[in-house]
């Protein structure tokens, strides 16, 4: 029997998709990267269907590329040649939500913002909020250890993950972690799976930590600066002053122009950067301090939002930044993260690299974490970024490492950053990681060629 027929036998009920156009719609994420041609796709609805798929894949040595909503920005879910695309997007149950223990047990296809909304009905929140959180899935967030706007205060996805249900390459089920706030029984397998980009197993459920939602609406500040560097200096001053913002986001002129071109926000010519900061609603003195520090660092205009509606509109604009850039062309998105004190230097370097190579770069940053997303925009007609973009991108990656930073703060390595991986991970790290990979995936069928 041919392998696909065997899979259909194992998974009846229309779970296996074989129509070429349909399969191809599962083969890409948000990157420009050209996918390989998948053998077929599976849309799993249960853990047991995932297990059956992996048993079949092991038997037939078929590569497995797990996939959530396909909102990834590094090629982690890009199809490899001859693979099965394993979609978890239909596993959308919130199996449990316990306000008393402040945890939720969810399946990987749950949309991030849906979990957050479900938690808020109980005065709680799910903190990690990648910009794409209205369309991204928890499974994808776990695969990349996603961050977001709020993680300057609440940490990244790993910090909210207590335990996992994982189907291993051979179809066995592994349960990691716990339901408790603390626990040190055995090695931290939970943390190992988070951020492993589907290369060690397929997550079919997660026990996630919820947090108490602020009871008072936050105070939101938007400050306009004459240069990104000045905004970076304000960020450094805010951190140094001991403020603990709920979020602290930076957008450069290019980003603001992209948003203005779409949503007409009335951008004035002298504005070269904008900082959005949020203080807890019952900490007006912290909001006032952040406002003052923006002014002292050159902010020309500082607006303080009065109402939740104004705040929502402002944050909504920030969340549109990536979509606004996609309207301008194909995008190569970087995700460098530097020590917070190096943020102004990194911003300056990005501007200089763009000028040197005549590359169009728009930058947004989770500035409070030192995490920058320089987005290189190029002609959509090109099969891949032109040489000037590659050259500038290469220089930015190297500069981030030189400043004590890392290639990726929250998007993952995927396919996109493999060519720079050796600069950050030396030979001993690489050998150890490959050893771990072999423990979980001796046949090398799980998302091969990604992450490590």
Residues 363-392 that bind a copy of itself (CB under 8 A): 366, 369-371
Instruction: Tell the smallest beta-carbon distance from residue 402 to a copy of itself (Å).
Output: 12
Instruction: Tell the smallest beta-carbon distance from residue 451 to a copy of itself (Å).
Output: 7
Residues between 186 and 215 that touch a copy of itself (CB under 8 A): 186-189, 191-192, 194-196, 200, 212, 215
Instruction: Tell the smallest beta-carbon distance from residue 145 to a copy of itself (Å).
Output: 5
Residues between 398 and 417 that touch a copy of itself (CB under 8 A): 404-413, 417
Residues between 57 and 76 that touch a copy of itself (CB under 8 A): none
Instruction: Assign 171 to helix, strand or coil.
Output: coil
User: Which residue's structure tokens are 């990157």?
Assistant: 31
Instruction: Assign 167 to helix, strand or coil.
Output: strand
Instruction: Tell the smallest beta-carbon distance from residue 61 to a copy of itself (Å).
Output: 21
DSSP 8-class letter at 262: H
171 near a copy of itself (CB under 8 A): no
Instruction: Tell the smallest beta-carbon distance from residue 422 to a copy of itself (Å).
Output: 11
Cα 15 from chain centroid (whole Å): 28
Nearer to a copy of itself, 253 or 411 (CB): 411
Residues between 315 and 334 that touch a copy of itself (CB under 8 A): none
User: CB 253: neighbour CB atoms within 10 A?
Assistant: 20
**Among the residue ranges 108-116, 234-242, 248-256, 267-275, the one whose residues contact a copy of itself (CB under 8 A):** 234-242
Instruction: Tell the smallest beta-carbon distance from residue 325 to a copy of itself (Å).
Output: 21
User: What tokens were used for 437?
Assistant: 């990979």
Residues between 90 and 149 that touch a copy of itself (CB under 8 A): 98-103, 123, 144-145, 147
Q: Which residue, 319, 297, 315, 298, is CA-closest to 307?
A: 315
Q: Are 136 and 89 in contact (CB under 8 A)?
A: no
Cα separation, 406 vs 133, in Å, equals 23
Q: Which of 94, 113, 118, 174 binds a copy of itself (CB under 8 A)?
A: 174
Beta strands at 219-225 and 273-279: parallel, antiparallel or unpaired: antiparallel
Q: Which residue, 66, 82, 91, 79, is CA-closest to 33?
A: 79
425 near a copy of itself (CB under 8 A): yes
Calculate the alpha carbon distances from 27 to 21, 108, 410 in Å: 10, 18, 22
Nearer to a copy of itself, 319 or 450 (CB): 450
Q: Are 63 and 69 in contact (CB under 8 A)?
A: no
Residues between 241 and 300 that touch a copy of itself (CB under 8 A): 242, 244
Q: Which of 9, 81, 120, 240 binds a copy of itself (CB under 8 A)?
A: 240
29 near a copy of itself (CB under 8 A): no
Under 8 Å CB-to-CB from 143, ≥6 apart: which residues? 66, 68, 72, 76, 195, 196, 197, 198, 203, 412
Instruction: Tell the smallest beta-carbon distance from residue 183 to a copy of itself (Å).
Output: 4
User: What tokens were used for 40?
Assistant: 């077929």
Q: Are 288 and 217 in contact (CB under 8 A)?
A: no
**Among the residue ranges 29-37, 179-187, 263-271, 308-316, the one whose residues contact a copy of itself (CB under 8 A):** 179-187
């Amino acid at each position: 029997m041919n392998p696909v027929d065997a899979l259909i036998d194992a998974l009846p009920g229309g779970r296996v998709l074989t129509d070429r156009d349909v399969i191809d719609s599962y083969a890409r994420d948000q990157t420009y990267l050209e996918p390989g041609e998948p053998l077929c796709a599976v849309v799993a609805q249960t853990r047991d269907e995932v297990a059956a798929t992996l048993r079949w894949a092991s038997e037939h040595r078929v590569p497995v590329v797990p996939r959530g909503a396909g909102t990834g920005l590094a090629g982690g879910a890009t199809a490899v040649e001859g693979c099965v695309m394993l979609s978890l997007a239909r596993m959308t149950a919130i199996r449990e939500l316990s306000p008393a223990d402040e945890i939720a047990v969810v399946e990987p296809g749950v949309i991030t913002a849906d979990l957050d909304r479900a938690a808020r009905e109980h005065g709680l929140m799910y903190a990690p909020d990648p910009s794409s959180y209205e369309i991204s899935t928890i499974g994808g967030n776990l695969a990349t250890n996603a961050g977001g706007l709020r993680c300057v205060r609440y940490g990244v996805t790993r910090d909210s993950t207590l335990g996992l249900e994982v189907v291993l390459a051979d179809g066995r089920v592994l349960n990691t972690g716990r339901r408790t706030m603390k626990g040190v029984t055995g090695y931290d397998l939970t943390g190992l799976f988070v951020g492993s980009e589907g290369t060690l197993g397929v997550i079919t459920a997660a026990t996630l930590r919820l947090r108490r939602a602020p009871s008072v609406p936050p105070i939101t500040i938007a400050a306009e600066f004459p240069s990104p560097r000045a905004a970076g200096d304000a960020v450094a001053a805010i951190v140094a002053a001991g403020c603990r913002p709920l979020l602290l986001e930076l957008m450069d002129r290019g980003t603001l122009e992209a948003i203005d071109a779409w949503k007409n926000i009335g951008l004035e010519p002298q504005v070269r950067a904008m900082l959005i900061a949020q203080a807890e609603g019952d900490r007006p003195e912290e909001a006032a301090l952040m406002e003052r520090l923006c002014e002292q660092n050159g902010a020309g205009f500082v607006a303080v939002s009065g109402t939740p509606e104004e705040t929502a509109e402002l944050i909504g604009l920030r969340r549109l930044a990536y979509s606004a850039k996609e309207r301008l062309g194909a995008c190569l998105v970087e995700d460098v993260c530097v020590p917070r004190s190096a943020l102004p230097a990194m911003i300056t370097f990005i501007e200089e690299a763009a000028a040197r190579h005549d590359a169009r770069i728009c930058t947004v940053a989770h500035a409070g974490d030192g995490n920058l997303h320089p987005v290189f925009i190029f002609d959509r007609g090109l099969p891949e970024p032109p040489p000037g973009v590659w050259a500038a991108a290469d220089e930015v990656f190297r500069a981030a490492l030189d400043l004590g930073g890392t290639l990726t703060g929250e998007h993952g390595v995927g396919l996109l950053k493999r060519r720079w991986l050796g600069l950050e991970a030396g030979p001993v790290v690489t050998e150890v990681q490959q050893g771990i990979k072999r423990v979980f995936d001796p046949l090398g069928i799980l998302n091969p060629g990604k992450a490590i």
